[in-house]
Amino acid sequence: VTWATLPYGSFTTPHEPGRLRVGVRLDGPRAGRVLDLTAAGPALVGRHAGLFLGGTLDPLLAAGPTVWHEVRESLLAAWDTADERFTVPADAVTLHLPWTVGDYVDFYASEHHAANLGRLFRPDSDPLTPNWKHLPIGYHGRSGTVVVSGTPVRRPRGQRRTPDGEVVFGPSTRLDMEVEFGFVVGAGSRLGESVPQAAFADHVLGVCLVNDWSARDIQAWEYVPLGPFLGKSFATSVSPWVVPLAALESARVAPPPRDVPLQAYLDDRGSRWGLDVAFQVHLNGHPVSRPPLASMYWTGAQMLAHLTVNGASVRPGDLYASGTVSGPEPGQWGSFIELTRGGREPLTLPDRTTRTFLEDGDEVVVSAVAPGPDGAVVDLGSVAGTIVPAA
Amino acid sequence: VTWATLPYGSFTTPHEPGRLRVGVRLDGPRAGRVLDLTAAGPALVGRHAGLFLGGTLDPLLAAGPTVWHEVRESLLAAWDTADERFTVPADAVTLHLPWTVGDYVDFYASEHHAANLGRLFRPDSDPLTPNWKHLPIGYHGRSGTVVVSGTPVRRPRGQRRTPDGEVVFGPSTRLDMEVEFGFVVGAGSRLGESVPQAAFADHVLGVCLVNDWSARDIQAWEYVPLGPFLGKSFATSVSPWVVPLAALESARVAPPPRDVPLQAYLDDRGSRWGLDVAFQVHLNGHPVSRPPLASMYWTGAQMLAHLTVNGASVRPGDLYASGTVSGPEPGQWGSFIELTRGGREPLTLPDRTTRTFLEDGDEVVVSAVAPGPDGAVVDLGSVAGTIVPAA
């Protein structure tokens, strides 16, 4: 028995394209294969097999942390010896959005990203707003347009203001990626109650990679005073494999030192929910950035505590994301608006074309890994998307 | 046969508290009674009866405009002669949130409200931001905390900044209502496509009243730069009866004149989707305001066209709301922050107590009516909520 990441997803086979199944991606000696948990459930997870019959993660999410633990322990004990007839080649399956997204909240948890954007959007003010180190700033995004990796991303149309102050309408000319880390909420909470940081792992089943596509020109014109709306709502891509939080124990690190004293509900002295996840970003196959999640100021546990401190409830399927992951160095920035300094310094790709923002046909692939136990690697998979022309 | 509003809701009876049913509120000679459509479906709506067996509006919402029309025509023909055994007294039923809320978007469509708030929040700038008359400003709210009228509203806790700049944590001291009008989306749209204003009634089944409770102190500290978050996400109350858009034909009016030329997708010359809905707001039984929906700058048709112009899809169950409805006169403002001029001019109630913002135990009841055909009145019902102390 070997340790493995064992993330959960939903898939169909060419054989039965109408039958959604829950799969577990295998690695190690069985890399490149998917364990069909909808078929293998009775043999592998016993009385929890019913959770996987519907082919989505929804019942597992709602089942809560005791069941999550039991299912994962069963899978860790059996994945590399389970009957091979329960596995299928990963390259033969179609992956689907594996759960029903409830509310989607996007945070703004990277100090480097927030400062980079503050300098670009509000050049006459301090890079960070006065509230930034007191609370993890967040806002609600559109859950109905969360799509699985591989879904084409149509360039949005919208209003923008030209440099000479004219308001025009058309396809976005400043289409960007945002490399983010997502937390998938399982067990819900009750309206009027809060989820303390200590209960983070009781509510979050797992994590995924997120690309929160952003139209900077639409956003810049619309976002005062109520925040981003159409500049973000046209598509948010997520990786197809939800990696259990339990697989990231060896990746836990201390977050950066806190510069201002935090309110009790955000105080995380003594806890370690920073995560040493290393992202890689490729544009049309060419590496363009390596954002380090460990550099984030706010942790996922703090985000959940903040999100619920006012009594707002969470539901199974809620997704919250970190906001763009940007490290301190230019090669670690998670958006093109940062990498090209607001579009003023284009990137040159190996084919000698240049990029400020994304062009039709461009493909962005974001992948990530983290340390596992005993030298193992936690493969967080990837989230990919290709830009298709505006309608 | 008499014309009637015939709104849809979900109810249970004391007899069968576990069995959710779809009801239609009756008026005229049968005022005070609810038609049980889950029981009466086969007799009244024939082949559409199956839509009502589950007890929520979800299947009806997804069925689309042809079915909506057929069901309403059947009900208009039969409601006042249907077997009385299919009706129950309205005061004997418990009303529930009648549909599953998908995404919730909140707009900011009243010029008077936006200007009043601009003056309070940004006293050194123009009351309206430069974008305000070019597009209906909106943002996503939390759909998981939309609750049905009558649900107690727990005072939220959160961070706020005191007038001398200290950041403190505790129960909100500036808890407010926001009187709004809500649009319930039925038929969905495809990702990457837009919904033009002309298709508004093909996608919106009906309307409801909304109270978007707001903690002004939490909001003021958190909202720069990404908009409202915890100041709004703790609770949003909706009226229990969804009034078909088709019942509001006689309430349609021209919206206010447009002060700047609009992009083609927002241009509504020749359309008439202003709505002559008259709100009444009571605090602890005392009338405090009468906001007029007809004064809103942006219409529901424009909001839907804007929400989808970037290619964002809508789903059955999506809710979008107008933002606070405030008319030009002080007695027509839809929030206490406006009615008390930022808390500086308290209201005096008949019991000689005063109010700036809401106190524990306060009850807010928002009701509304609109003109129907031939002198009939469209009763939009009410949305009520009582503040309970912070956790």
- Closest CB to A310 among B131, B140, B156: B156
Report chain B residues whose CB lies below 8 A from the CB of A167. 134, 263
Task: Collect all residues of chain B within an 8 Å Cβ-Cβ radius of residue A116.
Answer: none
Q: What is the per-residue pLDDT across A122-154, written as a single tens digit (0 to 9) for each? A: 889 999 999 999 999 999 999 999 999 999 999
Is A222 at the interface with chain B, CB within 8 A? Answer: yes
Whole-number pLDDT of residue A62 = 98
**pLDDT at res. A2:** 84
Residue of A nearest to B231 (CA): A310
Which residues have C-beta within 8 Å of that of residue A52, sequence separation ≥ 6?
A: A21, A22, A37, A38, A41, A45, A59, A60
- The nearest alpha carbon in chain A to B193 belongs to A391
Whether the pLDDT of residue A250 is over 80: the answer is yes
Nearest CA in chain A to B169: A263
Interchain proximity B139–A227, CB inside 8 Å: yes
The pLDDT of residue A330 is: 92
Find, in chain A, the residue whose alpha carbon is nearest to that of B304. A230
Residues A310, B157: C-beta atoms closer than 8 Å: yes
Separation CA B255–CA B258 (nearest Å): 8
CB contact under 8 A, B226 and A147: no
pLDDT in tens, B13-35: 999 999 999 999 999 899 999 99
Nearest CA of chain B to the CA of A232: how many Å?
9
Q: Which residues of A fall within a CB distance of 8 Å from B144? A: 102-103, 312-315, 318
| Chain A contacts in chain B segment 257-286 (CB below 8 A) | 263-265
- The pLDDT, as a whole number, for residue A154 is 98
pLDDT confidence tier of residue A1, bands split at 50, 70 and 90: low
Mean local confidence (pLDDT), B273-293: 98
Question: B134: which chain A residues are within 8 Å (Cβ-Cβ)?
Answer: 159, 167
pLDDT number for residue A122: 85
Question: In chain B, which among 106-165 make CB contacts under 8 A with chain A?
Answer: 108, 118, 121-122, 129-131, 134-135, 137-145, 147, 154, 156-159, 161
List active site positions of B. 113
Contact B391 A147 (CB under 8 A): no
- From the candidates A15, A48, A69, A113, give the one annotated as an active-site residue: A113
Please tell me whether residue A52 adopts helix, strand or coil conformation: helix
DSSP calls for A330-388: GGG-SSHHHHTTTTTS-EE-TTS-EESS--TT-EEEEEEEEE-GGG-EEEEEEEEEEEE
Name which of B101, B104, B107, B140 to mutate to probe chain A: the one with the most chain A Cβ atoms within 10 A of its Cβ: B140
Q: What is the pLDDT of residue B122?
A: 86
The answer to whether B140 contacts A138, with C-beta atoms less than 8 Å apart, is no
Q: Which of A144, A194, A230 sits opposite B103 (nearest CB)?
A: A144
- Judged against a pLDDT cut of 80, whether residue A19 lies above it is answered with yes
Region of poorest pLDDT, from A113-127, A192-206, A223-237, A283-297: A113-127
Indicate the average pLDDT of chain A: 97
Average pLDDT, chain B: 97
Contact at CB, B144 and A313, closer than 8 angstroms: yes
Task: Please check whether residue B224 touches A, CB under 8 A.
Answer: yes
Q: What is the pTM of this model?
A: 0.98
Q: Tell me the count of A-B CB pairs closer than 8 A.
A: 184
Facing residue for A224 by CB, picked from B131, B192, B265: B131
Give A228's contacts in chain B (Cβ within 8 Å): 139, 226-227
Give pLDDT, residue B380: 98
Q: Do B229 and A137 lie within an 8 Å CB cutoff?
A: yes
| Whether A309 contacts chain B with CB within 8 A | yes
Contacts A234 to B, Cβ<8 Å: 310-312
> Mind listing the pLDDT tens digit for each residue in A29-68?
999 999 999 999 999 999 999 999 999 999 999 999 999 9
Of the pLDDT bands very low, low, confident and very high (cuts 50, 70, 90), residue B1 is low
Q: Tell me: the pLDDT tens digits for B320-344? A: 999 999 999 999 999 999 999 999 9
